[in-house]
């Protein structure tokens, strides 16, 4: 069973870059069986897909965030990273990493999530 654990600063200043890491256990980020995705949820609101990365390095991002978001893999550490630049208060959310079964859009495992607050 795949397990995911997000980590990173809980507070980011406006205009700075939000950086999070997701450590994967029970599976490999180099596996062709999964896409690795980031999803966020503003407090009290619904889910928003941020983007995903495949083991080949292929990425796909939500157009509403394009230009600000980068997702990357660190195969040596079995980690997935998220960078979101020029943040505003609207980027305050719980950020989840998740595994998406390759060939489907089925999110079978989620991390516990990490709250990131954008505030000066």
Partner 1 sequence: QSALTQPPSASGTPGQRITISCSGSSSNIGSNYVYWYQQLPGTAPKFLLYRNNQRPSGVPDRFSGSKSGTSASLAISGLRSEDEAHYYCAAWDDSLSGQLFGTGTKVTVL
Query: Which residues in this chain contact partner 1 in the complex, by CB under 8 A?
Result: 37, 39, 46-49, 51-52, 60-64, 96, 104-113
Q: How far is the CB of 83 from partner 1 (least distance, A)?
A: 18
Q: How far is the CB of 95 from partner 1 (least distance, A)?
A: 11
Task: For residue 36, give every residue at least 6 positions away whose Cβ sits within 8 Å of its Cβ, in sequence order, or none.
Answer: 22, 24, 29, 52, 53, 54, 71, 73, 80, 97, 98, 99, 100
Nearer to partner 1, 64 or 75 (CB): 64
Q: How far is the CB of 60 from partner 1 (least distance, A)?
A: 6
Nearer to partner 1, 92 or 114 (CB): 114
Nearer to partner 1, 24 or 51 (CB): 51
Task: For residue 76, give every residue at least 6 positions away whose Cβ sits within 8 Å of its Cβ, in sequence order, or none.
Answer: none
Are the C-beta atoms of 18 and 82 separated by less than 8 Å?
A: yes
């Amino acid at each position: 069973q795949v397990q995911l654990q997000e980590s990173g600063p809980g507070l980011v200043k406006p205009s700075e870059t939000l950086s999070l890491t997701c450590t994967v256990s029970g599976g490999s980020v180099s596996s062709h069986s999964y896409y690795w995705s980031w999803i966020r949820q503003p407090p009290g609101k619904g889910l928003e897909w941020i983007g995903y990365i495949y083991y080949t390095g292929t990425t796909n991002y939500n157009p509403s965030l394009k230009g600000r978001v980068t997702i990357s893999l660190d195969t040596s550490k079995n980690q997935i990273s998220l960078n979101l630049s020029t943040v505003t208060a609207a980027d305050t959310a719980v950020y989840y990493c998740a595994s998406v079964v390759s060939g489907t859009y089925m999110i079978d495992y989620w991390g516990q999530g990490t709250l990131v607050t954008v505030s000066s």
